[in-house]
């Protein structure tokens, strides 16, 4: 159900091979206005594996076809593996699908290559006033909107309620100071066990680092028009990096400093029963429960705390956008489809499935679940990576932010040298 998470949150790389291949879409009349062809039509929709529950899409397509005479929805579920190349080929062809789902880190690349329909004038039809800002930004390019938010997710802290209670921690931390204090209490209570970890935090968990950088007022890069310049050497970014190191050192985590949360899979480590906390996506609890089914009832969640007491830290939001290919032959139908799927009715369905709705601020369905409630609380303060076509190459290659973390945490480089080198690598990618 959540196969998109690793792909989207990790991003994609592969430069588009085509540009300027926008098609004419539906036929134009003598006045230049788009006119819908008559007779039976087929709307081809590509959504990704794990994105939408079958019950939701079945209802959606039934309703759409009932209100659009002679229209059949051809719904095709795509796999994340290889989707970049498949989309690149499809968007360049004269037989493009009509609606596509794209990862939020993919969107700027496609938008900049002129292969997506400009949806700027239609945002009001798609619940534009309620969009998640992080996904809105990823779907825009050069002042125009080429993709609309679909759904998102962000990280939270999963923790063992029973271990907290035994350590005398009566409530989840609501500030960084309280978080560090909780770590201290857990180490005092369970530290005699050499396998115990108050917090499992891999050295290259750069998504978590971003929360601390943003919380300090820093950012990955500064934007000027469509140009980005890396800013990891700012005092604010360095402060976020220093707090990350403090967490690693004070928690005594045994996680590798030269690997991310997937190597080894952190949910499996948590499921082993010797970890009190880890920074995770909500559904990683289900993975942990494969090792120990009882851990599900023992686990609670709280948002990543801010340095300001009572506030949550900003969080990286990974997710999906929806777009209409420029070569779609039925753009009018595609926009009608986007209007329906972005409505409150269907966005509520995504929230019930455990996702943050992209075009609705109603997260009540998430708040009803204790684990998802923490994600929902933090979601209002969600952010995204720089919306630049060059970002895709950053994550698929040797991610400079991962290198920065490992170099600083291991002492291989000073904070000044590590941030300078990361900036140089990011700027090279931004300009590629």
Question: Would residue 2 count as lying in a domain?
Answer: no
What would the mean pLDDT of 104-122 be, rounded to a whole number?
93
The pLDDT value recorded for residue 350 is 93
Question: Ramachandran region of residue 394, left (φ > 0), alpha (ψ -120 to 50) or beta?
Answer: alpha
Total domains, the chain: 2
Q: Are residues 268 and 339 in the same domain?
A: no
> What percentage of residues in the chain have a pLDDT greater than 90?
85
- Reported as a pLDDT band with limits 50, 70 and 90, residue 407 is very high
Cα 84–chain centre separation: 17
Q: Does a structural domain hold residue 26?
A: no
Average pLDDT over residues 122-138: 95
Residue 102 resides in a domain: yes
Q: Which residue has the higher pLDDT, 14 or 179?
A: 179
Q: Does residue 378 share a domain with residue 393?
A: no
The answer on pLDDT for 36 being more than 70 is no
Percent of residues, the chain, with pLDDT higher than 70: 91
CA-to-CA distance for 126 and 66, rounded, in angstroms?
20
pLDDT at 2 over 90: no
Q: Could you tell me which residues come within 8 angstroms of residue 149 by beta carbon, excluding any fewer than 6 positions away? A: 131, 132, 135, 136, 139, 319, 321, 322, 358, 359
Query: Which pLDDT tens digit goes with each residue over 367-385?
Result: 999 999 999 999 989 999 9
Identify which of 7, 220, 207, 1 has the alpha carbon closest to the alpha carbon of residue 103. 7
Residue 6 has pLDDT above 80, yes or no: no
* CA 324 from centre of chain: 20
Task: Provide mean pLDDT across the span 381-400.
Answer: 88
pLDDT of residue 329: 96
Q: Which helix (H) or strand (E) holds 68?
A: none
Q: With 90 as the cut, is the pLDDT of residue 423 above it? A: yes
Spatial separation of the C-alpha atoms in residues 134 and 335, rounded to whole Å: 22
Is 24 contained in some domain? no
Question: For the domain that residue 183 is a member of, what is the CATH number?
Answer: 3.40.190.10
Q: Is 323 found in the same domain as 268?
A: no
Domain that holds residue 204: 156-315+388-431
Query: Which pLDDT value is given to residue 9?
Result: 36
Taking residues 141-150, report their average pLDDT: 95
Q: Where are the strands (E) in 130-226, listed by range? A: 140-141, 144-145, 148-154, 156-160, 221-224
Say yes or no to pLDDT of 12 above 80: no
Q: 409 with 30: CB under 8 angstroms?
A: no
CA distance 361 to 197: 36
In a domain, 10, yes or no: no
83 and 208 within one domain: no
Token pair for 406: 């490992």
Could you tell me which of 307, 304, 275, 278 has the C-alpha nearest to residue 292?
A: 275
pLDDT over 90 (residue 205) = yes
Q: Are residues 307 and 427 in the same domain?
A: yes
pLDDT, one tens digit per residue, over 40-57 is 999 999 999 989 999 999
For residues 149 and 62, state if they share a domain: yes
Q: Based on the domain organization, do 57 and 107 belong to the same domain?
A: yes
Nearest-angstrom CA–CA distance, 331 and 304: 41
Say yes or no: 351 and 409 in one domain: no
Q: Provide the strand spans (E) within 19-154.
A: 41-48, 71-78, 99-103, 140-141, 144-145, 148-154
pLDDT of residue 23: 31
- The mean pLDDT of the chain is 90
Question: Please, which pLDDT band fits residue 397 given cuts at 50, 70 and 90?
Answer: confident
Same domain? 171 vs 203: yes
Please tell me whether residues 125 and 69 are part of one structural domain: yes
Q: At what angle do helices 235-251 and 176-190 cross, to 10 degrees?
A: 20
Q: Does 173 lie in the same domain as 45?
A: no
Task: Give the model's pLDDT for residue 277.
Answer: 98
Question: How many Å apart are CA 68 and CA 248, to the nearest integer?
Answer: 56
Contacts of 246 (CB under 8 A, 6+ apart): 180
Q: Of 42, 97, 48, give the one whose Cα is nearest residue 64.
A: 42
Nearest to 144 by CA among 22, 47, 319: 22
Residue 7 lies in a domain: no
61, 75 contact by CB (below 8 A): yes
* Mean pLDDT along residues 206-223: 98
Please report which helix (H) or strand (E) contains residue 423, including its range: helix 415-430
Q: Does residue 261 fall inside a structural domain?
A: yes
Question: pLDDT tens digits for 324-362?
Answer: 999 999 999 999 999 999 999 999 999 999 999 999 999
- pLDDT at 398 (0 to 100): 87
Place of tokens 């709705």: 357
pLDDT band at 14 (very low <50, low <70, confident <90, very high): very low
Within this chain, do residues 310 and 164 fall inside the same structural domain, yes or no?
yes
**Other C-beta atoms within 10 Å of 171: how many?**
9
What's residue 44's pLDDT? 98
pLDDT at 18 over 50: no
Q: Residue 55: phi, psi to the nearest 5?
A: -60, -35
Q: Cα separation of 225 and 386, whole Å?
A: 12
Q: How far apart are CA 235 and CA 328, in angstroms?
A: 47
- Residue 238 domain-assigned? yes
Specify whether the backbone of 365 is left (phi greater than 0), alpha (psi in -120 to 50) or beta.
alpha
At 117 the pLDDT is 98
Collapsing DSSP states into helix, strand and coil, what is residue 251? helix
Distances from the Cα of 189 to the Cα of 66, 109, 165, 266, angstroms: 62, 50, 11, 23
């Amino acid at each position: 159900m959540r196969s998109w998470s690793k792909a989207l949150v990790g991003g994609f790389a592969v430069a588009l091979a085509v540009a300027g291949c926008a098609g004419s879409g539906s036929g134009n009349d003598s006045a230049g206005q788009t006119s819908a062809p008559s007779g039976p039509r087929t709307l081809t929709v590509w959504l990704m594996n794990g994105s939408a529950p079958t019950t939701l899409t079945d209802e959606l397509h039934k309703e759409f076809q009932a209100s659009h005479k002679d229209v059949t929805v051809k719904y095709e579920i795509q796999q994340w593996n290889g989707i970049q190349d498949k989309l690149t080929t499809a968007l360049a062809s004269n037989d493009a699908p009509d609606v596509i789902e794209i990862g939020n880190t993919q969107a700027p690349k496609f938008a900049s290559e002129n292969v997506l329909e400009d949806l700027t004038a239609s945002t009001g039809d798609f619940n534009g006033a309620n969009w998640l800002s992080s996904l809105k930004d990823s779907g825009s390019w050069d002042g125009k909107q080429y993709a609309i938010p679909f759904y998102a997710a962000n990280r939270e802290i999963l923790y063992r309620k029973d271990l907290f209670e035994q350590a005398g921690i009566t409530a989840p931390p609501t500030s960084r100071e309280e978080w560090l204090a909780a770590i201290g209490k857990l180490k005092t209570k369970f530290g005699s066990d050499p396998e115990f970890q108050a917090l499992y935090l891999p050295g290259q968990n750069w998504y978590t680092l971003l929360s601390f950088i943003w919380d300090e007022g820093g950012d990955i890069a500064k934007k000027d028009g469509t140009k980005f310049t890396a800013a990891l050497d700012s005092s604010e970014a360095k402060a976020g990096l220093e707090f990350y190191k403090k967490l690693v050192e004070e928690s005594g985590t045994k996680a590798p400093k030269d690997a991310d949360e997937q190597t080894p899979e952190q949910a499996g480590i948590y499921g082993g029963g010797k970890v009190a906390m880890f920074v995770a996506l909500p559904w990683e609890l289900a993975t942990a429960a494969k090792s120990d089914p009882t851990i599900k009832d023992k686990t609670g969640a709280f948002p990543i705390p801010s340095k300001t007491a009572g506030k949550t830290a900003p969080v990286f939001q990974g997710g999906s956008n929806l777009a209409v290919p420029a070569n779609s032959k039925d753009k009018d139908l595609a926009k009608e489809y986007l209007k329906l799927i972005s409505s409150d009715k269907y966005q509520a369905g995504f929230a019930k499935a455990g996702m943050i709705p992209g075009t609705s601020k109603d997260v009540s369905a998430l708040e009803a679940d204790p684990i998802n409630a923490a994600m929902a609380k933090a979601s209002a303060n969600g952010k995204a990576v720089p919306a630049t076509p060059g970002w895709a190459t950053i994550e698929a290659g040797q991610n400079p932010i991962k290198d920065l973390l490992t170099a600083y945490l291991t002492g291989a480089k000073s904070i000044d040298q590590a941030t300078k080198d990361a900036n140089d690598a990011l700027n090279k990618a931004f300009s590629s």
